[in-house]
Amino acid sequence: MKHLYLPLVLLAAPATFAQRNADAILRETFENLPKIAVPAMRGSGDAQNQMAVFNETLWKDLETCGYFRMAAMSNYPRETPQQPSDFKPPRGTERQGPWLTDWTTPEVEADWLTIGYTQIQNNRMVLFGWLYNVRQADLQNAQSFGKIYFADLNASGARKLAHEFAADIIRKFGGTPLFGSKLYFTSNRSGAKEIYVMEYDGSEQKQLTREGNISNFAAVSPDGTRMAFTSFPRGNASILMMSLETGRKLPFYNQRASTNASPEFTPDGSKILFGSTAAGIQQIYSSNLDGSGIKRVTFSPSVETEPKVNPKTGSEIIFTSGRSGPPQIYKMNMDGAAVDRLTNGEGEAVNPAWHPTGQLIAFSWTGGPDPGTRNIFIMDVASKTIVQLTHGAGRNENPSFSPDGRHLVYQYTAPGARRSQIFTMLANGQQVKQLTTLGANEEPVWSKN
């Protein structure tokens, strides 16, 4: 599973993106990202027992966020400050103790430094954390922020402290922390295909549905309060609605059809779109959240499915259609007008997903430089420029962008393997991480809640 490095500037703010042509965007690199040093922190008393979990979590959060290059820990100075008072400015050329310039040497070359420590207060774990710009000449200007964090004295609490500290650091650089976002996916680890949820880093995997048959293609409402998914309660594919707050089923009317499937919420959360065979061949429909107010959107003699609404504008749908032969990715208005094929007609292009800016899409395709092999691609919708992210044998499918737009989650099936697994990567193909191992896992979707 080889990956091509696509520059993250592709994921810049809409105004910046619009001012660059596609070729220029694709040539840029990560070289200008700031480098951050993240030395291991220590804890006093029983807090020290949780520091291995804390330090590992903090490092992973910053390493995978896409906003930094990590300074190699093997090159760190021997003396690591734990708090601001540990810094000792030099007297002329005479060293007095740990100082900012220790972290800017050619061996480290850091721009930023995290320091801190933990202790126990009232049976809770407390983190004192600071972020420093070590390129500044004095401590007052170097300190970006210092903050106190509280959590339970256990491994979950240690992870929470690390996530919150990392989130504040990422916000300082204008980023959207992934902490709090969720990954929903299908797994057969219980014996039947059910919907599961996990944290963005793969931790705390939990089963949500217990239908006992096949439940897949989860979609989460923008406010995170409900989930729609496909299941087979009476033999036919039907859409079920579930409250994520109570775990209870919510009413949803399925029109008479052999298939009602692949639901998708509109950005305002007021409606869903889905594929249905109510007219004979599968077409795209919309309805209210309870299944009422059904309206047919596409009128094609070919299968139409996988509708996804532009999260930025709410006025466009991308979808998969066989109207030109093998399945391809198309775009249309919400009313079904102005249909435009985005992919070039080669191979099979499926599983479209919008980038949060509404300017890019990701999809799975058997065309391109590796024809016949299913890989993940990103497309600039305006220019139809594409970039291949995964390469080589195996199947890469069902991509979904993270809320910050800098990451993708997808399923990968290795050559000869019978089980697919869930992976994440930066949206340039770097930082590939496997998140699941139990059973077969597929069809991930990344939700901000």
Query: pLDDT tens digit string along 427-440?
Result: 888 889 999 999 99
pLDDT, mean of residues 389-408: 93
pLDDT at 275 over 50: yes
In 3D, which of 55, 313, 284 has the Cα closest to residue 162? 55
pLDDT at 332 over 50: yes
Mean pLDDT of the chain: 92
| pLDDT tens digits, 46-82 | 999 999 999 999 999 999 998 999 999 999 999 999 9
**What is the spatial distance between Cα 153 and Cα 165, in angstroms, rounded to a whole number?**
16
pLDDT band at 369, cuts 50/70/90?
A: confident
pLDDT, mean of residues 243-257: 97
**What is the spatial distance between Cα 204 and Cα 120, in angstroms, rounded to a whole number?**
25
State the pTM of this model: 0.90
Residues 6+ apart with CB under 8 A from 405: 11, 355, 356, 357, 427
**What is the spatial distance between Cα 242 and Cα 145, in angstroms, rounded to a whole number?**
41
Residues 6+ apart with CB under 8 A from 93: none
Q: Tokens 């770097």 appear where?
A: 430
In 3D, which of 422, 423, 415 has the Cα closest to residue 439? 422
Q: What are phi and psi of 19, to 5 degrees?
A: -85, -5
**What is the spatial distance between Cα 312 and Cα 326, in angstroms, rounded to a whole number?**
29
pLDDT band at 393, cuts 50/70/90?
A: confident
List where CATH 2.120.10.30 sits in the chain: 182-447
pLDDT at 21 over 90: no
Q: What is the pLDDT of residue 25?
A: 38
pLDDT, mean of residues 6-11: 38
Q: Tokens 């919400």 appear where?
A: 334
Percent of the chain with pLDDT over 70: 93
Q: What is the 3-state secondary structure (H, E, C) of the chain?
A: CEECCCCHHHHCCHHHHHCCCHHHHHHCCCCCCCEEECCCCEECHHHHHHHHHHHHHHHHHHHHCCCCEECCHHHCCCCCCCCHHHCCCCECCECCCCCHHHHCCCCCCCCEEEEEEEEEECCEEEEEEEEEECCCCCHHHHEEEEEEEEEECCHHHHHHHHHHHHHHHHHHCCCCCCCCCEEEEEECCCCCEEEEEEECCCCCCEECCCCCCECEEEEECCCCCEEEEEECCCCCEEEEEEECCCCCEECCCCCCCCEEEEEEECCCCCEEEEEECCCCCCEEEEEECCCCCCEECCCCCCCEEEEEECCCCCCEEEEEECCCCCCEEEEEECCCCCCEECCCCCCCEEEEEECCCCCEEEEEECCCCCCCCEEEEEEECCCCEEEECEECCCEEEEEEECCCCCEEEEEEECCCCCCCEEEEEECCCCCCEECCCCCCEEEEEEECC
**What is the spatial distance between Cα 10 and Cα 378, in angstroms, rounded to a whole number?**
10
Domain covering 182-447 assigned CATH 2.120.10.30 in the classification? yes
pLDDT at 13 over 50: no
pLDDT at 6 over 60: no
In 3D, which of 100, 94, 175, 169 has the Cα closest to residue 141? 100
Residue 164: count other Cβ atoms within 10 Å of its Cβ: 20
- Asked whether the CA dihedral 433, 435, 439, 440 is positive or negative, the reply is negative
Q: What is the pLDDT of residue 1?
A: 65
List where CATH 3.40.50.10070 sits in the chain: 35-172
Question: Which of 31-35, 233-237, 279-283, 342-346 is least confident?
Answer: 31-35
Q: What is the pLDDT of residue 66?
A: 87
pLDDT at 409 over 50: yes
pLDDT, mean of residues 360-388: 92
| pLDDT tens digits, 164-204 | 999 999 999 988 899 999 999 999 999 999 999 999 999 99
Q: Tokens 């699941």 appear where?
A: 436
**What's the CATH code, domain 35-172?**
3.40.50.10070
Q: What is the pLDDT of residue 400?
A: 98
Residues 6+ apart with CB under 8 A from 246: none
**What is the spatial distance between Cα 278 and Cα 448, in angstroms, rounded to a whole number?**
32
Q: What is the pLDDT of residue 2?
A: 56
pLDDT, mean of residues 417-426: 95
Q: What is the pLDDT of residue 18?
A: 37
pLDDT, mean of residues 356-383: 92
pLDDT, mean of residues 33-43: 97
Most confident of 96-100, 390-394, 424-428: 96-100
Q: What is the pLDDT of residue 328?
A: 98
pLDDT at 287 over 50: yes
Give the chain's largest Cα–Cα span. 84
Residues 6+ apart with CB under 8 A from 325: 345
pLDDT band at 16, cuts 50/70/90?
A: very low
**What is the spatial distance between Cα 25 and Cα 376, in angstroms, rounded to a whole number?**
19
> Which tokens is 312 given?
């930025």
Q: What is the pLDDT of residue 276?
A: 98
The one-letter amino acid code at 44 reads: S
pLDDT at 19 over 80: no
**What is the spatial distance between Cα 338 and Cα 116, in angstroms, rounded to a whole number?**
56
